[in-house]
């Protein structure tokens, strides 16, 4: 696989959540990532695959000597990524002004929930808090109460993905200007950006603030999940009329005999009809019915089942890393010259001495 970021050096100040996830993506794409951890504070085992593909060093940032070594790494890096609360890196003497004084080309990327300024900037929070202020959390879940969509919307969709976009854009800008940039990646901003299309629908009167009453939130009978006879589920995404017709055909129903799906007042009745039909058979039956159609109907798989699906397996989107571990393959892919190649997932992190890495980076060797 092509490694478009080969030769790019990333200094990662150890944290949890979107920062390590973003660095994982950068390492997957070929960047040389050095992760700086505090002595005796190796992150939990839950991150063991997320911190793949990099070198790990330890540094006591309260020590002037070791802080100076980290400053040396920053002087030789292309990108620095940190996820502390605003002001922490400045108090350590490692803020962007200090780093840019010795390395003007550095892309200094800051990953937080609330951002570098604003009334809540220094407050603690987690994914659920950041998305709760954007409207995104309110829109997810049944009528009774909102459900957190895992931590995908804040931490990763609105966090690490936006951070990576910011880093790559700043690297591209550097090619034009010769100077680095400070990237302020805030989950509250990123999550807001993710729901822009829904905000547009709301402006047009095509979305309301009642959960389970809209096109994409489970309200539409042709865009929701249905339980099968065995207690498992099928996902239905038959939005377009031609796909909806195939859904109806696969269910053994007659389109002309069903309530008009374009009239929202019919959605409860139509959902009930479709739900009753799905309950007549187990999930495997419906998989067979819809497997080779364009009805946009697929099984809802567990994390254990997902790697075995024929498409997921063919693309190796999820792979067995041994000892029962399932890990996500690198993404996106770059196909020039290697469209059909099978590529291994980057390996476990390698521990190294801080002084050795500083020496290598400062020597200029790549």
Active-site residue list? 126, 155
- Give yes or no for residue 277 having a pLDDT over 50: yes
Q: What's residue 354's pLDDT?
A: 93
CA distance 197 to 364: 46
Distance, in Å, from the CA atom of 321 to the CA atom of 231, rounded to the nearest integer, reads 30
- Provide the mean pLDDT of the chain: 93
pLDDT in tens, 218-228: 999 999 999 99
Q: Which CATH class is domain 9-194+345-363?
A: alpha beta
What is the C-alpha to C-alpha distance for residues 53 and 349, in angstroms, rounded to an integer? 5
For residue 211, the SS3 value is coil
Is residue 41 predicted with pLDDT exceeding 80? Answer: no
3-state helix, strand, coil split of the chain in percent (to 5) is 40, 15, 45
pLDDT in tens, 285-323: 999 999 999 999 999 999 999 999 999 999 999 988 777
Please give the C-alpha separations between residue 142 and each of 149, 207, 224, 305, in angstroms, as whole numbers: 12, 16, 12, 26
Mean pLDDT of 36-63: 83
Residue ranges, comma separated, of all CATH 3.40.50.10540 domains in the chain are: 9-194+345-363
**Location of each CATH 3.30.1540.10 domain in the chain:** 210-329
Cα angle 258-263-267, degrees, rounded to a multiple of 5:
65
pLDDT at 47 over 70: no
Give residue 339's pLDDT band: very low, low, confident or very high (50, 70, 90): very low
- Between CA 41 and CA 149 the distance in angstroms is 29
| pTM for this entry | 0.92
Fold for 210-329, please state it. Answer: formyl-coa transferase, domain 3 (3.30.1540)
């Amino acid at each position: 696989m092509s490694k478009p970021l080969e030769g790019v050096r990333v200094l990662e100040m150890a944290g949890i959540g979107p920062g390590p996830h973003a660095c994982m993506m950068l390492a997957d794409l070929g960047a040389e990532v050095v992760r700086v951890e505090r002595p005796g504070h190796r992150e939990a085992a839950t991150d063991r695959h997320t911190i793949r593909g990099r070198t790990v060093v330890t540094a006591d940032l309260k020590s002037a000597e070791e802080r100076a070594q980290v400053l040396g790494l920053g002087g030789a890096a292309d990108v620095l990524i940190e996820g502390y609360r605003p002001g922490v890196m400045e108090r350590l003497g490692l803020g962007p002004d200090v780093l840019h004084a010795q390395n003007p080309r550095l892309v200094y990327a800051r990953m937080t929930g609330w951002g570098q300024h604003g009334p809540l900037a220094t407050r603690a929070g987690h994914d659920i808090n950041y998305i709760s202020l954007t409207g995104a959390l309110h829109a997810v879940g049944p009528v009774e109460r909102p459900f957190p969509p895992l931590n995908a919307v804040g931490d990763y969709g609105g966090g690490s993905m936006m951070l990576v976009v910011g880093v790559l854009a700043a690297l591209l800008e550097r090619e034009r200007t010769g100077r680095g940039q400070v990237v302020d990646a805030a989950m509250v901003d990123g999550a807001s950006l993710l729901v822009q299309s829904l905000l547009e629908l709301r402006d047009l009167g095509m979305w309301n603030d009642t959960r389970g009453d809209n096109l994409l939130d489970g309200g539409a009978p042709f865009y929701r999940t249905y339980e099968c006879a065995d207690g498992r589920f099928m996902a239905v995404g038959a939005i377009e009329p031609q796909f909806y017709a195939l859904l109806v055909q696969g269910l053994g129903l007659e389109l002309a005999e069903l309530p008009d799906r374009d009239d929202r007042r019919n959605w409860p009745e139509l959902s009930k009809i479709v739900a009753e039909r799905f309950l007549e058979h187990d999930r495997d039956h419906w998989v067979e019915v819809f497997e080779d159609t364009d009805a946009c109907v697929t099984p809802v798989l567990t994390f254990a089942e997902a790697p075995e699906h024929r498409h997921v397996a063919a693309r190796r989107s999820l792979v067995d890393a041994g000892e029962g571990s399932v890990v996500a393959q690198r993404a996106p892919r770059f196909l020039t010259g290697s469209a059909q190649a099978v590529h291994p997932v980057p390996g476990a992190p390698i521990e190294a001495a801080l002084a050795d890495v500083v020496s290598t980076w400062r020597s200029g060797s790549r």
